[in-house]
Amino acid sequence: MSAENLVQLLYLISTALFIMSLKWMSDPATARKGVFSGVAAMLLAVAGTLAGVATTGGTHYWWILGAFAIGSAIGYPLAQVPLTAVPQRTALSHAFGGLAAGLVGTAKYFLYFGRGDALSLTPFIVVALVAEILLGFLTFTGSLMAAGKLQEVKWIPQRPVTYPLQNVSNIGMLIVAIGMGTALVMNPLAAWAPYAFLGVILLSLAFGVLMILPIGGADMPTVISILNAYAGLSAVAMGFVLNNKLLITAGALDGSSGLILSIIMCKAMNRSFANVLFGAFGQAPQATEAGESKAYKSDTTESAAQVLEQASLVVIVPGYGMAVAQAQHKVRELYDLLKKRGITVKFAIHPVAGRMPGHMNVLLAEAEIPYDDLVEMDVINGDMPQADVALIIGANDVVNPAARSDKNSPIFGMPIIDADKAKTVYAIKRSKNPGFAGIDNELYFLDKTFMLFGDAKSVVGELAKQLAGDNGH
């Protein structure tokens, strides 16, 4: 077998493993196999690239090995972050991917321009280069902004930031960047072409920031999915520029899966892409002020445990508060105690609960809660009227009835879990502050709702102690 055939074989196997990775990760029973398949695919891709360089007789593979070592040194600690930080870590991964694509595209263009290589700068390649830097650099800055918002970095505003003619200026900026790119396609070797190329880069970087500024935290799961799609598409463009079939395939898989997930997320929120990117979801400070005059009804964990003991069906609604408190293992303990009493326990999973798609599923799976008891929103809503208790752990906007009834609410039209239809509602909440959408939750002021204020891990732990008969005496 020739060296070139060996490289292509490695790329082919890598492609197949990437495809199988997505397939296996769609089912919890095979998800772990999917992760290992993706890792193996990437290792084979790197091995194939090294083999291709080595067979040319060059020494450039040392650069590849050096980059591999640096990437591994950065990637390993990033993999050790707590599950609460996985959304922002994912956003950082997209940022790195976008930056890599943008830098490769920039290096390729200036290499061809310096040589005056008109044969390499064909219209198709220049289109791919423009798409690569446009998508790559806006993904870079957009992902950094998203990570900063999720991490609640002080100098990055958490709430949506809007200003007059914002959408017009943003779209105008994008049109100018595309116009410059079109001019590059027409004449990539003109004296002014490098300046136009740099102009596209600067506009892309700025657009990435301005695209995320008007987006509130409640939309972050969808935004992360969209950025994932952009990163994948930039990799596709890079594959065409480098004539690398594996990059094209892997990027297409990444981009299409991110796009499909974004569509699913938008459907779950009853929103369009345009509404997510330009809607400034989450601006309603007046609702917060109005809610301050309303009265909560607090209860004790002892009383709540007694109500739980009498229930036949308990539906637990997890949210970001559970993730922040790392309460999933205490939730598992509570789950086991309720099941021992013959009580049916289900977990209501909203598609956008938490800060990224599947966030709650991952947390609960870590606590080894049976996947069959994790029920999607559309299915569990049919059972909510029969639920004796809805126990909300750190969720807020995804159970707010205002989404159904208040046309002035920023979350109006968003499908929610119908916790208000349960016979009794207990809500565990750290404080009286509103959720990430910036509005009060009408559910918390209903006659059937009782608040258990405190850290989710501590409160759930106390509930478990009461059910176990350990009252601390």
Can you give the pLDDT at residue 212? 86
Distance, in Å, from the CA atom of 471 to the CA atom of 28, rounded to the nearest integer, reads: 37
Q: Is there a single domain that holds both residue 121 and residue 257? A: yes
Burial class (CB in 10 A: 0-12, 13-18, 19+), 32: exposed
Burial class (CB in 10 A: 0-12, 13-18, 19+), 378: exposed
Q: What is the pLDDT of residues 382-429, one digit of tens each?
A: 999 999 999 999 888 889 998 888 888 777 788 899 999 999 999 999
Q: Is there a single domain that holds both residue 317 and residue 234? A: no
Q: Is there a single domain that holds both residue 238 and residue 129? A: yes
DSSP state of 345: E
The domain that contains 360 carries what CATH number? Answer: 3.40.50.1220
Residue at 46 is within a domain: no
Q: Is there a single domain that holds both residue 367 and residue 273? A: no
Distance, in Å, from the CA atom of 410 to the CA atom of 430, rounded to the nearest integer, reads: 23
**Spans of the chain below 70 pLDDT:** 1, 56-59, 158, 216-219, 268-271, 273, 275-293, 434-438, 470-473
Of 278, 296, 311, the domain-final residue: 278
Q: Is there a single domain that holds both residue 392 and residue 292? A: yes
Q: Is there a single domain that holds both residue 214 and residue 295? A: no
Residue at 20 is within a domain: no
Identify the bridge partners of residue 92 per DSSP, sorted by sequence position: none
Can you give the pLDDT at residue 277? 65
Distance, in Å, from the CA atom of 19 to the CA atom of 7, rounded to the nearest integer, reads: 19
Residue at 95 is within a domain: yes
Q: What is the pLDDT of residues 59-75, one digit of tens each?
A: 677 888 888 889 889 88
373 an active-site residue? no
Residue type, 295: A
Residue at 424 is within a domain: yes
Of 278, 297, 327, the domain-final residue: 278
Q: Is the dihedral of CA 190, 192, 194, 199 positive or negative?
A: negative
Can you give the pLDDT at residue 132? 96
Q: Any idea how long the chain is?
A: 473
Q: Is there a single domain that holds both residue 273 and residue 294? A: no
Distance, in Å, from the CA atom of 112 to the CA atom of 120, rounded to the nearest integer, reads: 7
Q: What angle do CA 13, 19, 22 make, to 5 degrees?
A: 140
C-alpha pair distances (Å), 359 with each of 82, 85, 356: 12, 10, 5
Residue at 76 is within a domain: no
Residue at 371 is within a domain: yes
Pairing of strands 424-429, 344-349: unpaired
**pTM exceeds 0.85, yes or no:** no
Residue type, 389: V
Q: Would you report the helix, strand and coil content of the chain in percent, each value rounded to 5?
A: 65, 5, 30
C-alpha pair distances (Å), 450 with each of 226, 303, 349, 398: 37, 10, 21, 18
Pairing of strands 344-349, 449-453: unpaired
Q: Is there a single domain that holds both residue 261 and residue 299? A: no
Q: Is there a single domain that holds both residue 235 and residue 377? A: no
Can you give the pLDDT at residue 290? 42
Q: Is there a single domain that holds both residue 235 and residue 330? A: no
Residue at 359 is within a domain: yes
Q: Which secondary-structure segment (H or E) carries 336? A: helix 328-340
Distance, in Å, from the CA atom of 231 to the CA atom of 250, rounded to the nearest integer, reads: 11
C-alpha pair distances (Å), 188 with each of 165, 276, 349, 445: 33, 35, 51, 63
With both helix axes pointing from N to C terminus, report the angle between 328-340 and 359-366 in degrees, rounded to the nearest 10. Answer: 70
Q: Which of 219, 397, 418, 420 is catalytic?
A: 397
Q: Is there a single domain that holds both residue 234 and residue 318? A: no
Residue at 50 is within a domain: no
DSSP state of 81: S
Of 237, 274, 69, 243, residue with least CA distance to 139? 237
Half-sphere exposure of 15 (CA within 13 A, CB side): 14
Token digits for 207?
């657009």
Q: Is there a single domain that holds both residue 318 and residue 459? A: yes
Residue type, 35: V
C-alpha pair distances (Å), 21 with each of 31, 39, 79, 252: 8, 9, 18, 14
Cβ 129 vs Cβ 106: under 8 Å? no
Q: Can you list the pairs that 53-58 forms with residues at least 24 positions away whose Cβ atoms lie under 8 Å?
A: 55/3, 55/4, 55/7
Of 216, 243, 278, the domain-final residue: 278
**Structural domain that includes position 97:** 81-278
Token digits for 14?
């890598």
Domains identified in the chain, total number: 2
